[in-house]
Amino acid sequence: MEISRLQWILFVSLILFAVTAAGAAETVSASVGGDTGYYSIQSSPSGASVTFDGKYVGQSPVVVDVSTTGTPGHTIVINAPNYQTWTQTVQGNPGSGQTISIFAALNPVQPPTGTIYVSSSPQGASAILDGGADSLVTPGTFYNVVPGYHTVKVSMAGYQSYSQQVQVVSGGTASVYANLMLNPQSGSLSVSSTPKGAGLYVDGIYQGETNQIVGGLAVGSHTVTLKLAGYQTYTNTYVVNYAQTTYVSVTMTPVQNPTTGAMTVISSPSGAAVYVNGNYQGITTQGSDPLDVLDLTPGTYTVLLKKNGYQDYTTTAKVTAGQTTQVVATLQAGGGTSGTVSAEISSTPEGADVYINNLYKGVTPLAFQNVPVDTSQTYTIMIKLDGYNPYTTSGTVTPGQYIQINAALSPVPTTPTKSPLFPAIAIVALVSGAFLVFARKKQH
């Protein structure tokens, strides 16, 4: 039998309506007979797999309907990659037309940790992990380090700072050996960019965002790298001279036809260490300029933020080629250690030596976390940099306190020096004057 055009159109329309109706359904039925109630199931993060009484019902958020007269009590299981399984048993059944809300805050799976052993020559240097996540005096070991790439910076008064990136594997120990070189002379770099707010790296070490001055650099060549979401990464080498500032001004070039994506991270409060898939990326800054993480292969990443006095913040972020994914983290207070304090010490310019009660601690910017303190003791912090007046502050501390010090160092006034020829010229002038006086007397 031949199908007419009108019949064919009606047939296709019915199929499309059925498919659309099925796709638009948000409620999964788990009821058998009787009136119907509902469970509205949500999770953080969303998109987790939901199992209801042993039956997969979809990804969160999802609504499951149940019979009000069915067997009371239900078990809900929620799973997501890199998160612990969430399980809850609810008693009874919802009433007819009633909706019971279920919310699951998933906890990230904490991977087994590793350690980093740090030694130096000479010994007794200050070692800083990931910009202040932990610190020690060499030789020593950083414990409970999450797997991934981490940065260790080793510094000592009178020596050039040493930095190394190491990979930590679960259950393993990575080693860092710093053969420190004497650094009797230093200079600085003043780096600016258009637009500003680019991530600044000097010799591979994250120094914050442009525009700023990086001081305490050894005389010689240094590699400057600038990274900013939506722009090509800039790298070049500049020479630093003794007691001088080398000025660097860069106009960033936009990315054309990108194959990778980027991520920007902002935290409230600022000053949190950022890890992407376990790899240290830098510190979130104050103001509206976020921390940029560039050249990411499209996919889903785990983002971890850590700040002393606050609970760890973990989330997932999807990165798409040619786009910038924004992560905004509001940190929750808690997680500090009683009997300890933490501090962030910075200076302008950077690269100044830090002494606490006359003990050398490292080079600015410097951070300490969970350091034991004596509440009856007065602590004196001195910040020193060649060519600048020392900065000093003193006071007592309270356990759990978070201390921030930013020292604006003032240059030492330069006194004009007399020419080494001045004494000779003065003597010649005196002799010439005496000779003229003697000659005039002789004429008379």
Q: What is the pLDDT of residues 128-143, one digit of tens each?
A: 888 777 778 898 899 8
pLDDT > 90 in the chain, percent:
25
State which CATH number among 2.60.40.10, 2.40.400.10, 3.40.50.2000, 2.40.110.20 fits the domain covering 340-408. Answer: 2.60.40.10
DSSP, residue by residue, 335-392: ---TTEEEEEEEEESS--EEEETTEEEEESSEEEEEEE--TTS-EEEEEE-TTB--EE
d(CA 178, CA 356): 23
- Listed in sequence order, the residues at least 6 apart from 333 whose beta carbon sits closer than 8 Å to its beta carbon are 309, 310, 311
Average pLDDT over residues 71-91: 90
Q: What is the pLDDT of residue 21?
A: 41
- Listed in sequence order, the residues at least 6 apart from 81 whose beta carbon sits closer than 8 Å to its beta carbon are none
Q: How far is CA 66 from the centre of its chain?
A: 46
d(CA 173, CA 152): 14
Q: Does domain 257-335 have CATH number 2.60.40.1120?
A: yes
pLDDT > 70 in the chain, percent:
81
Query: Is the confidence at residue 388, as pLDDT, over 70?
Result: yes
Tell me the β-bridge partners of 152: 129, 164
Q: What is the pLDDT of residue 182?
A: 80
Average pLDDT over residues 210-219: 83
If you ran DSSP here, which 8-state letter would residue 414 be given?
P
Q: What is the pLDDT of residues 46-63, one digit of tens each?
A: 889 999 999 999 999 999
Average pLDDT over residues 226-255: 91
DSSP, residue by residue, 34-96: S-EEEEEEEEESSS-EEEETTEEEEESSEEEEEETTS-S-EEEEEE-TTB--EEEEE-S-PPT
**Binning pLDDT at 50, 70 and 90, where does residue 27 land?**
low
Q: What is the pLDDT of residues 169-180, one digit of tens each?
A: 888 899 999 998
Q: What is the pLDDT of residue 4?
A: 60
Q: Does domain 31-105 have CATH number 3.40.50?
A: no
How is the chain split into domains, by residue range?
A: 31-105, 114-179, 257-335, 340-408
Q: Does domain 114-179 have CATH number 2.60.40.1120?
A: yes
pTM recorded for the entire structure: 0.51
Calculate the average pLDDT of the chain: 80
d(CA 242, CA 416): 19
User: Do the first three CATH levels of 31-105 and 340-408 match, i.e. the same topology?
Assistant: yes
3-state secondary structure of 14: helix
